[in-house]
């Protein structure tokens, strides 16, 4: 679980970390962030498929 790491790291380090944890050796990774478009952009740039979910008032919804 990576909780709101984007305000603590610069863009270059975030990209390197996402490349590292996206490898199959890490298994399933959960990342929390308040900006879904930022996540989409990062993972699109490193050519990794992701699933996004929104949690609103305790309800989980998959983002398409």
What domain count does the chain have?
Answer: 1
> What's the pLDDT score for residue 57?
94
Task: Report d(CA 52, CA 35) in Å as an integer.
Answer: 11
Is pLDDT at 47 greater than 90 in this prediction? Answer: yes
Higher pLDDT, 28 or 59: 59
Q: What is the pLDDT of residues 10-46, one digit of tens each?
A: 889 989 999 999 888 888 889 998 888 888 999 999 9
Q: Is the pLDDT at 60 greater than 90, yes or no?
A: yes
In 1-64, beta strands by DSSP E: 2-3, 31-32, 52-56, 59-63
Domain containing 36 equals 2-63
Instruction: Say what the pLDDT of residue 7 is.
Output: 83
Strands 52-56 and 59-63: antiparallel
């Amino acid at each position: 679980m990576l909780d709101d790491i984007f305000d603590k790291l610069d863009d270059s380090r975030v990209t390197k970390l996402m490349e590292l944890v996206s490898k199959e050796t890490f298994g399933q990774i959960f990342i929390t962030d308040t900006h879904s478009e930022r996540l989409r952009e990062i993972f699109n740039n490193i050519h990794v498929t992701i699933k996004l979910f929104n949690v609103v008032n305790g309800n989980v919804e998959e983002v398409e």
